[in-house]
Each structure stands twice: as C-alpha cells, then as structure tokens.
Amino acid sequence: MKLNKNAERKLAFVLLFGALALIGSRINYSAIIGADNQTFTLFQFFGPIAGSFLGAGLGVAAILLSELSNYFLQGRAFDAINILRLLPMLFAAVYFSRSHLKFSAIIPALAILLFWLHPVGIQVWYYPLIFWLIPLAGTFVRNNLLVKSLGSTLTAHAIGSIVWLYTVPMSAAQWNLVIPLAIMERFSFALGIAVSYIVVNYALDALTSASKTGFPYVDKRYSLSA
C-alpha cells in the first residue's frame, strides 16, 4: 500500500524525532535517587516538545518508538514496572500539545490524590502540593512557553513519582531529601524544554517554509517571520 505525500511526511517526522529521542536517551544527565544504575537523560530536555510539533497522537507515537527501542538496546525486561515507567514522557508530550486541556488538568489532580492515599505519601502530604499544583494551574496559562514547559516536565514528574511511590520502598525522610533536588532538576528540564522548542521551531520554520500542509506545526511567535 502506497502512502500519500502527507502520510509519508508525517511518518518521516515521527521516525526522525524517534531517532533523535533515542540518541538523547543514551546520554545521561543525573542519577535517579533510590534507583541503582538509572539516570535522567538528555531526552528529558526535549522529549515533550514532540506533542506540539507532531500533535498529541503522533508525538506520543514518536516518544513510544524511541523508548521501546531504547528498552530493546538495553535488554530490559518488559515487566509491569518497566512498562509503567514508559508513561511519564508520554503524558508530558500530551500536556505540551496544543489540545487536551481538560485531560492535562486531570493528571496532576489525580496524582495528588493517589499520593495522599499511600501510607508513606500521606506522611509527606505537602510533597505533591509543592510540585503538581503548577501543571494544574498551567492548563489555564497556555500561551506562556516557560509555564507550559514547567507544567510538562512536572506532569512527567507526577506520573513518575506515583509509579515510584507504589513500586519502590522509600521512607518519608527519603521523600523529603528528594524535594530540593527535584526542584533543581525540574527547573533545569523546563528551561531545556523551552530552549529546545524555540530552536526546533526556528529550524522547522526554515526547512518547511514552503509547505502548506500545516505539519509539522510551527509556532509563528518563534519563527523567522516573527
């Protein structure tokens, strides 16, 4: 079956972003507290922007493609915990997309509730309030790039923290130790996401200026014609 030009274009961008994400996933940034031999990677600094340029659906597909490929290369087992650990960046991409506002607001609210329902989580009840009220409020401030970037990475943080809370034994004291480190990490991730978005937006504007398909999406606030 032969694809039309628009479908070929979408497939090419999904594969290209998936390849770039896979490369970023192989470059370590910082260790994950409480996990042996697991780190945050360069992927954290640009992964969510796929949701804006490719749309929520194709953005999630590109990220999932890169994450599954990375799992195969690392030889990880596809058990329930590892599958759950695929979710944070997928939800971050949905948050960064140009739609799904109501869905984006549900995720941090649900994460707060699930954190409080856990016997250890309720001991540090303030933990989710420090972080996850921001992406909840950010759904009402969608035109600010830094707010959207911060909301996106904190959405990933919310999903990842809940998976961690229910699968990895950690004390309340350990969760308290995480707070200052998570603040620094998430602000650095948000800044990286915002910068990556602007750089990629300018590049796509230059490369696709003659295209009238509207794909990938280019934000004219950060374009050569602005």
Domains located in the chain, CATH noted: 5-222 (1.10.1760)
**For residues 150-162, average pLDDT:** 94
pLDDT at 110 over 90: yes
| pLDDT above 90 coverage of the chain, percent | 32
Tokens of 223: 């374009």
Tally Cβ neighbours within 10 Å of residue 157: 23
10 or 188: whose pLDDT is higher?
188
pLDDT at 35 over 60: no
Convert 162-188 to b/e letters by CB count within 10 Å (16 or more is b): bbbbeeeebeeeebeebeeebeebbeb
Nearest to 189 by CA among 18, 24, 74: 24
Question: Residue 166 — pLDDT band, cuts 50, 70, 90?
Answer: very high
Tally Cβ neighbours within 10 Å of residue 91: 24
pLDDT of residue 225: 62
Whole-prediction pTM value?
0.84
Which of 27-41, 59-73, 207-221 shows the lowest mean pLDDT across its residues?
Answer: 27-41
pLDDT of residue 127: 97
CA 81 vs CA 17, 43, 64, 76, 175: distances in Å: 25, 20, 16, 11, 20
Question: Residue 32 — pLDDT band, cuts 50, 70, 90?
Answer: low
